[in-house]
């Protein structure tokens, strides 16, 4: 069952093409890993899906709603953000709010829940990422891994159809990567539909049922982890994976 469909997504900055006619169809429960070289448009792709950046053209269909991405109203934008949540590379938490408040704010002001219901959901999601004991801590009092787990809890609290992850482990110390990977792996096992941009090939293989390789703002190839990572037919992908392997 198709959950999210993106057609002819295009984006440019200062006459430089960043995304060139990107098309993607995602089924409910899919976990899509997006790999490719730096500067290939992977992060821009996520931000355009979530309308943190506005595409030049293209359409997005989700939950039986189709949006013309070149003409999106504020109302449509807010609706989309309730259905497509995002976890950021640099956490993007509110510095002046506690872990608990970082989660309840979106529920109260975005989904218009009352404070009691928002508090209940926040506590449930904090418990899921083993962070309930840190609910009254501010971001500055938390490690990078802990902040990222709060970011994950904030996203899952919205009960979104799709969660986007932009390099969720890249800002973490190596010893903290495992806990965040485990959290995302658990979401995958629970059936959460996700698109994950990552530079960790082993992580991509672990969580994804589909891998797409981005190059120069286009999806160069898409397939299973076995097809794209274990047995790539494309010479460009082979070269990329060899380079990534050497960098370890």
Spatial distance between the Cα atoms of 69 and 57, rounded to a whole number of angstroms: 6
Q: Which residues of the chain have pLDDT under 70?
A: 246-248
Find, among 3, 11, 19, 9, the residue nearest to 59 by Cα. Answer: 9
pLDDT of residue 234: 93
What local confidence, expressed as pLDDT, does residue 170 receive? 85
Nearest to 26 by CA among 195, 152, 189: 195
pLDDT at res. 226 = 97
Going along the chain from its start, the domains and CATH numbers come out as 11-92+162-247 (3.40.50.300)
31-35 and 193-197 beta bridge pairing: parallel
Can you give the pLDDT at residue 247?
Answer: 60
Output DSSP code: residue 133: G
Whole-number Cα distances in Å, 176 to 20, 70, 76, 167: 35, 39, 37, 14
Strands 162-166 and 84-87: parallel
Helix (H, G, I), strand (E, B) or coil at 239: helix
pLDDT of residue 248: 55
- pLDDT for the residue numbered 35: 97
Residues 6+ apart with CB under 8 A from 171: 89, 90, 91, 144, 148
């Amino acid at each position: 069952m198709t959950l999210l469909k993106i057609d002819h997504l295009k984006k440019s900055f200062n006459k430089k093409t960043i995304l060139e006619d990107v098309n993607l169809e995602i089924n409910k429960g899919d976990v899509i890993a997006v790999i490719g070289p730096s500067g290939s448009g992977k992060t821009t792709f996520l931000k355009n899906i979530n309308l943190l950046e506005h595409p030049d053209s293209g359409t997005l269909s989700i939950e039986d709603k189709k949006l013309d991405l070149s003409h999106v109203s504020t109302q449509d934008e807010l609706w989309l953000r309730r259905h497509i949540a995002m976890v950021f590379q640099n956490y993007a938490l509110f510095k002046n709010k506690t872990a608990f408040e970082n989660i309840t704010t979106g529920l109260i002001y975005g989904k218009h829940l009352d404070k009691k219901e928002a508090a209940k959901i926040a506590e449930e999601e904090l418990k899921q990422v083993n962070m309930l004991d840190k609910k009254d801590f501010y971001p500055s009092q938390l490690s990078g891994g802990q902040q990222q787990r709060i970011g994950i809890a904030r996203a899952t609290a919205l009960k979104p159809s799709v969660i986007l992850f932009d390099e969720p482990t890249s800002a973490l110390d190596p010893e903290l990567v495992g806990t965040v990977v485990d959290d995302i792996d658990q979401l995958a096992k629970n059936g959460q539909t996700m698109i994950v941009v990552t530079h960790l090939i082993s992580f991509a293989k672990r969580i994804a049922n589909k891998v797409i390789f981005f190059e120069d703002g286009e999806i160069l190839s898409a397939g299973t982890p076995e097809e794209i990572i274990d047995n790539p037919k494309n010479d460009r992908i082979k070269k990329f994976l060899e380079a990534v392997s050497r960098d370890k």
